Amino acid sequence: MSKQMLVLVKEIDAIRITMYEFSKKVDNLSDPLLVQLSQLLDEKLNTYNEVCSAA
């Protein structure tokens, strides 16, 4: 696994954990911060898939 992939995996895990912890503290899952985190997670997952496809 390349260094870029390892960094992406760590970032993806951190975003997921942050989303989970934050979702326990809000009543509305459409909270703007959760939406932003979700979009960031999508971007990171797309990047990860591109890196995997190129390898």
pLDDT tens figures, 1-55: 789 999 999 999 999 999 999 999 998 989 999 999 999 999 999 999 999 998 7
Q: How far is it between the farthest Cα atoms of the chain?
A: 41
What b/e string do you get for 32-42 counting C-beta neighbours within 10 Å, with b at 16 or more? eebeebeeebe
pTM above 0.85, yes or no: yes
Q: Which residues contact 44 (CB under 8 A, 6 or more apart)?
A: 8, 11, 12, 15
What is the chain's alpha carbon radius of gyration, rounded to the nearest angstrom?
Answer: 13
- As given in the structure block, the two tokens for residue 6 are 């390892």
Q: What is the pLDDT of residue 54?
A: 87
Q: What is the pLDDT of residue 1?
A: 77
